[in-house]
Chain A
């Protein structure tokens, strides 16, 4: 991970990625470059491989025993499937937020500090600092600062999701993967998360799966359209939504199928 490579602005370089669940191929020869400090939206109909794709970027997909992977994914020039790469370390650089908010059944405080603690930060002062900056960055601080010791399951769904974002931020990742992070939330909570994503992209590279075309249009710089395991089209979001190159993309965004 040299500075020269960082300067190219490419975070991920996906090359010829194939993925199988047993006999079923879920990703077919994916090639794409994901850029730094941008929001990259992944869209496509249900079952087209969006979740599989983002879970491959932090190698969470390998927790499913039947998964087989081919091709490579370069993260700052280094193939994440190399033997020398430890998934634990990769995941401290690539955080993830899930479809359904999944805080731990612990206090707000313990949730945010989970990552720092397991990665060896013991100093109480540092803890407080991380707690405050992470919660502020996730736009949650003002709502919870007086009840940091309360259980996370006492929060609303939207607050829980922002807590999960704060939890991910607390290990200082470079990339945040989000798999339909607002699909379980009401419009107001969704709005808050979208505003948050707009702020976060200053410091982070965000890859977000979304079911909602409007959401992709509102928040993303680049959009990747997947269909049945293939990357059909990948371009600037404005281009994809105004003048898609492929017929399937146009059909999808105009709601003709999906």
Chain B
């Protein structure tokens, strides 16, 4: 402390000597600032530890509950009134079918929308309006999308609570994510590549198809996978659509009724009050869903890293 005072005093003297300067650096409170820095570092690391800690506790709880229940049979059997004989075969298939609807619909619609907004509708009020509001759309609660799906796909188009109705509803839900990701990917394609194409006499569409899209594809795919993984974890829209959990039949076509992993988790958790073992079944299903999501996100990261910009 004394030393610091001395240094500060010396600094003051030095600055007094340089009389032509109209400012002087205040060195006296450096140690205070260093201490404050340490305080914030500790504070932030504690926050991180807290967040990760909670997550860990949650995962640990789920894992403990699922031990002994997550068997190969659990994946291949279907529902049963006896917890020991119940499985999630139907729910897994339902989720897979949902993805078969969501992936093509969101990628096609999302990329088409992004191309329109980024490449064609560069002027115009409507396009500007859509562009600014597309991110707002992404934050609309999923229940609302469920209601929309119920009204439009379930009732109006008469799709009921089929895979198609569920898939289309989830597609709408995650469409903004795909659009925004695709927009960013298209925007990141350097102008000099487009110019190279135009200078060869290529039309706009040829340029987009042959130069812009191939370069943007990894970004589009990464966004697409993340969106799909969001979709398959969603529960609320499916609940609103009235997707049942008690489906003994395995779905065979997109028009069939179905159940899906998050729905299964939801109902088993609700029914835990009736049958204690349902908590274990729900936990085992959560582990399965988490593993699927984790794998999908890993694929997205791998794609992103593999196709880092080369120019």
Contact = CB atoms under 8 A, between A and B. Distances in A.
B199 A104 contact: no
Contact of B197 (A87, A104, A119): A104
Interface in A144-166: 151, 153, 164
A103 B200 contact: no
Contact of B200 (A105, A106, A114): A114
Nearest to A117: B210
B200 A118 contact: yes
A104 B202 contact: no
B198 A63 contact: yes
B76 interface: no
A197 interface: no
B123 interface: yes
Contact of B195 (A89, A102, A168): A102
Contacts of B122: 65
Interface stretch (A36-44, A77-85, A92-100): A92-100
A91 B196 CA distance: 11
A105 B201 CA distance: 18
Given A91-B201, A114-B197, A168-B199, A105 B215 contact: yes
Contacts of B202: 88, 114, 118
Contacts of B196: 98, 102-104, 164, 167
Contacts of B195: 60, 63, 98, 102
Interface string B162-203: 000000000000000000000000000000110111111111
B310 A153 contact: yes
Interface string B117-135: 0000011000000000000
Nearest to B310: A153
Nearest to B122: A65
The range of chain A's interface size is 20 to 34
Nearest to B199: A96
A58 B199 contact: yes
B193 A104 contact: yes
Given A65-B122, A65-B123, A118 B201 contact: yes
Contacts of A60: 195, 198-199
B209 to A, nearest CB: 9
B200 A171 contact: yes
A217 interface: no
B272 interface: no
A88 B201 contact: yes
A103 B122 CA distance: 26
Contacts of A63: 195, 198
B192 A168 contact: no
A95 B200 contact: yes
A115 B200 contact: yes
A118 B310 CA distance: 24
Nearest to B211: A104
Contacts of A106: 214
B80 interface: no
A58 B198 CA distance: 10
A91 B204 CA distance: 13
Contacts of A102: 192-193, 195-196
B198 A91 contact: yes
Q: Of residues B123, B198, B199, B210, which shows the largest number of chain A Cβ atoms within 10 Å of its Cβ? A: B199
A60 B194 CA distance: 11
B311 interface: yes
A220 to B, nearest CB: 21
A90 B201 CA distance: 7
B193 A100 contact: no
Contacts of B71: none
Nearest to A119: B201
B210 A89 contact: no
A98 B197 CA distance: 12
Nearest to B200: A115
Interface in B287-311: 310-311
Contacts of A105: 193, 214-215, 310-311
Nearest to B192: A102
Interface in A10-43: none
16 contacts: A60-B195, A63-B198, A65-B123, A87-B201, A95-B199, A96-B199, A102-B193, A105-B193, A105-B310, A106-B214, A114-B197, A114-B200, A114-B202, A118-B210, A119-B201, A151-B310
Interface of A: 58, 60, 63, 65, 87-92, 95-96, 98, 100, 102-106, 114-115, 118-119, 151, 153, 164, 167-168, 171
Given A91-B201, A96-B199, 12 more contacts: A60-B195, A60-B199, A65-B122, A65-B123, A89-B201, A91-B199, A91-B200, A98-B199, A104-B211, A106-B214, A153-B310, A167-B196
